[in-house]
Structure 1
Amino acid sequence: MKDNGTMAWDFPDPFIHEVTVEPHHIDDFQHTNNVVYLTWMAKTAWEHSKALGLDFAAYAKLNRGMVVRRHELEYFAPSHAGDRVLVATWITGNDGRLRLRRRFQMINAMTGVTLLRGLSDFVCINIETGKATRMPAEFATTYRLTATVEGDA
């Protein structure tokens, strides 16, 4: 999904996956539980990967996949049941060998308020063995940088 340019994104041209806060996402504090945001990050990364042509069938054919090594999330504002949230991602690091970094920003679609900024670091694995391995050329080229962040590349 592309944004019409009205949101204050951290970087240009994000890949955007829209979600709606459902009642089961709400915790005892009456806002979206922090684990839900992490789930949305993972879903958005996967949707972007699929949009780039690397779905699980492609991973299986190559016997390679990108798996999470580390997440970092910083929360700025809560979301509540019924809110529409735009989850944006950019690829900001890819060493062409083993590591990939994605940055994320979540914005309340109705208010324009940034709810969260985060990042996920991925490593390439051999699916059969689960061990880290050099990424195939398809990963190095398809997962090209979509935003530049000093220190991420």
Structure 2
Amino acid sequence: MSKNELPVFKQTFDVQPEHIDDLNHVNNVIYVQWVNDIAVAHWKEVATEHLLDTYNWFLIKHTIEYKSAAVLGDSIHVSTYVGRATNVRYERFVEIRNAKTDELLVKSTSDWCAVDQNGKPQRITDELRRVFEVD
């Protein structure tokens, strides 16, 4: 399945003073937080109550590439979609772009493991796969 066929979850927000570092741009740690936040928000948007009560996700591998800086007052688009799934992992992609210019600021690829409420890894079931599929 190509990226264009995958459902993309998006959020938009403005860079705040607390996001800025000593170099007067968004701190790299904030981008990592946004990558986590969009993944959690996406899960909460698509999952049923049963799935939310049954599963959590644990980040097991994370790659982030910084392309350009955002500054105070910039409006930011954060988008995510999932890729391949194995027995216990789901691949997730995130892009962070300047909302005004569409310039790519950050891209990230990560692997997430489904876990039960006790933190024990769980198999990616058909039910879990269906929540991320295109209708």
Inter-partner Cα distance in structure 2 for 1:125 and 1:50 = 15
Structure 2 residue aligned with 1:135, among 121, 124, 128?
124
**Deviation per residue, 1:101-127 (Å, 9 max, x gap):** 111111100111110111121011122
Superposed, which structure 2 residues align to 1:1-150 within 5 Å? 11-12=3-4, 14-54=8-48, 58-60=51-53, 62=54, 64-95=55-86, 97-128=87-118, 130-144=119-133
Q: Given the two structures, how large is their TM-score scaled by the length of structure 2?
A: 0.86
Name the aligned partner's letter for residue 88 of structure 1.
S
Shift of the alpha carbon at 1:54? 4.3
In structure 2, C-alpha distance between the alignment counterparts of 1:28 and 1:119, rounded to whole Å = 27
Backbone CA RMSD of aligned residues:
2.0
Matched length: 131
Asked if the contact 1:101/1:122 (under 8 Å) is kept, the reply is: yes
Tell me if the contact between 2:13 and 2:76 (Cα under 8 Å) persists in the aligned partners. yes
Query: How big is each residue's C-alpha offset from its partner over 1:77-124, in whole Å with a ceiling of 9 and x where there is no partner?
Result: 0000111110011111212x2110111111100111110111121011
Aligned residues with identical type, % of pairs: 27
- Paired residue secondary structure (2:40): helix
Give the TM-score taking structure 1 as reference length: 0.77
AA aligned to 1:71 is H
Answer whether contact 2:85 2:124 (CA < 8 A) is retained: no
Higher helix share: 2
Q: Deviations over 1:24-79 (max 9, x none)?
A: 10001110001111111111112211221346x7332x2x2221111110011000
Detail structure 1 runs of 4+ shifted over 3 Å in the superposition: none
3-state SS of the aligned residue for 1:103?
strand
| Aligned residue number for residue 4 of structure 1 | none
Amino acid in structure 1 at the alignment position of 2:13: V
Please tell me whether the aligned partners of residues 8 and 80 of structure 2 are also in contact (alpha carbons under 8 angstroms).
yes
Tell me how far 1:131 sits from its aligned partner.
2.0
What's the offset of the Cα at 1:137?
3.3
